[in-house]
Amino acid sequence: MEFIPYATQSINEDDLAAVREVLTSGWLTQGPAVPRFEQAFAALHGVAHAVAVSNATAGLHIACLALGAGPGKTVWTSPNSFVASSNAALYCGASVDFVDIDPATRNLSVPGLAAKLEQAEREGHLPAIVIPVHFAGLACDLAPLRALADRYGFSILEDASHAVGASYNGQPIGSRYADASVFSFHPVKIVTTGEGGMVTTQDGALARRLQLLRSHGITREPGEMQLLDASSGAWTYEQQVLGFNYRLTDIQAALGCSQLQRIQRFHAARERLADRYDRLLAGLPLRLPVRVPGPGAEARSSWHLYVVEIKPGAGVAERVTVFARLRDAGIGVNVHYMPIPLQPYYRALGFRAGQFPAAEAYAAQALSIPIYPALTDAMQDRVVAELAKALRT
């Protein structure tokens, strides 16, 4: 029986050729492939600057730093995400809080954010940064979120790890509403570099700070140096801030460039599979993904995940049973995500069950089922048949 994972990378001969070319080029890292990848990614997302990093967590970390996160500052994000979304703020010495999700979109609730901001303004502790998470590839409702940022003075850092190539109101994610956006190239994501990430921004000064932070805070640009004099040679460099070794290699960047050539095909395949799931699952006791981020808004999801929620009731098995049955049947389902505030580390910070009821209710019944470009109709039919069987008590 063939095992069907919930997600997997799509690698072809073009990808292999691109990597082989770099391996014989003499530039395994810090060569020309990285800026080429950055330029291609920026063009795809309609943004002026793209800064490649070793992974999306690194991108979130240095983006938080570049946007001013630190001791005495607070960062808000969604409880329905991987822990990296909030951990990045803690790395900077900032404190973290959460805004509950919209039950339909599973994204950060904009009305919930507005209410929390009103209270925070009265109490004098507004956030410095809000990190909306485009869960499963569906954009958050960005226009009203931007309006709130302008009113209350916080920066928007999009966690777009699920959303490479996704759009909101006809514009690419990362192009307009956020101060910075972070994307992931983990093997289960839309395109892969093995590991890797990208930070995009329209702000040139912010992009330059990100470039410094990803490489030990070091510059070799004469116009930026503070100690340059007549005795300085071409070897001269300066560390100007405390940065990190968060660079992407040329090997990874070459793979990323190759993968970007097929992103429209990847999206089309995922959209077709999502539409087909909608039809095939319509009669089952499940809540299916929605397509609209907010009133009057339109979005094209990247369909990184297809997540169903089990509707409890007579004759319907519990989620733990459904999960185990599907795994036993060779269907690699997963759960995205356990709410961040309920993790032991975050409970120790003072968070507790019941604070974010929508996220907790969603997480109690969520199930990610397989979706990736190589998933055939026959494989998808098998997923649906096994899911229907597993749901019955």
Cα separation, 337 vs 334, in Å, equals 9
Q: Which residues pair with 238 in a beta bridge?
A: 219
Asked whether the beta carbons of 182 and 56 are under 8 A apart, the reply is yes
- Kindly tell me the sign of the dihedral angle through the C-alpha atoms of 244, 186, 134, 112: negative
- Count other C-beta atoms under 10 Å from residue 95's C-beta: 17
H or E segment at 353?
A: none
Cα separation, 176 vs 379, in Å, equals 38
If you search the block for the tokens 């990597």, which residue do you land on?
19
Cα separation, 297 vs 134, in Å, equals 14
- Count other C-beta atoms under 10 Å from residue 12's C-beta: 10
Rounded to the nearest angstrom, the gap between the alpha carbon of residue 333 and the centroid of all alpha carbons in its chain is 19
Bridge pairing between strands 4-5 and 331-332: parallel
Active-site amino acid positions: 189
SS (H, E, C) 73-118: CEEEECCCCCCHHHHHHHHCCCEEEECCECCCCCCECHHHHHHHHH
